[in-house]
Structure formats: structure tokens, C-alpha cells
Amino acid sequence: MLNFTRQEKMVMLFLITAFVVGGGIHLGKNYLKSEINFAIEDTSRYAIEFKNKKLEVDSLYLNKIHENKNKDGIKININTADQKELCKIKGIGPVTAEKILKYRNQNGKFLQIEDLENVKGIGKKTIKKIKGEVTVD
């Protein structure tokens, strides 16, 4: 009943082999796809964890800076303070402190705290925020 010619046997063997190989490729492709998706999700999770750690470290760093700023409660005289002292004022960093020094050297002493508004980068909001921390006496 199963009397096939040699050529028919070769064709059937080819078709069976193609079917098995195709199924294996299909299964392998799905397996690799799930592994790649897992790897992407895993990498994303680690990236998010790293980002959260970075944010946590940044906030700790900023809190530490805030703790060190003018913690003795003494008002800082903007007419005599050096850059390091000016950096103790909340909202004033090294660049702005340098601008204050440059403005003071070019234009003389500040007559009132509001004169800081003439320094580039310092506006009314900043002056309002630092008013309790500085003096011109």
C-alpha cells in the first residue's frame, strides 16, 4: 500500500524536514522575542531604579547644601561678603555670587537690598526670598 517511488520519498522527506525546521524556527523566534522583551523590560527596570537612586542622591546632596547654608542665622552683609559667604545665601550659587562681586566692584556698595535687582540673574522673587538673610550695613 505504501509503495512510493524513490523520487516521491525524497519529496515527502523534504516536506517533512521543511515542516519540522519551519516549526522550530517559529518556536525559536517566539522564544527569542520573549527573551528580548524580557531583557528590554529588565533593562528598563534597572534604568528606572538607577534614575530613582540618582534622584535620591541629588536630593540628599541638595539637602546637605541647604543644611550648610547660613545655619548660624547671622545676616550676611552683601557689601563685605566674599564669594564663599555669598554662596551661603539661599538661592545664590557660585556663578551668581561672582556676578554680585563683579557688580559691587564696578558700581560700589549696595545702598539697599533691592539694589541686587541690578545684578543679572537676580529678580524680585530672589530678593524677596533672601531679604531675611542679608543686610547692607
Q: Average pLDDT of 100-117?
A: 92
Please list, in sequence order, all residues whose beta carbon lies within 8 angstroms of the beta carbon of residue 134, skipping any fewer than 6 positions away: 75, 76, 77, 78, 89, 113
pLDDT at position 20:
83
Give the residue from 130, 128, 78 showing the smallest Cα distance to 105. 78
CB 71 within 8 A of CB 128: no
pLDDT in tens, 45-90: 555 555 555 555 555 555 554 444 555 668 899 999 999 888 888 8
Extended strands (E) in 10-129: 76-77
pTM of the entire predicted model: 0.49
pLDDT in tens, 8-48: 889 888 998 988 888 777 776 666 666 655 555 555 555 55
Q: Average pLDDT of 118-135?
A: 89
pLDDT at position 67:
46
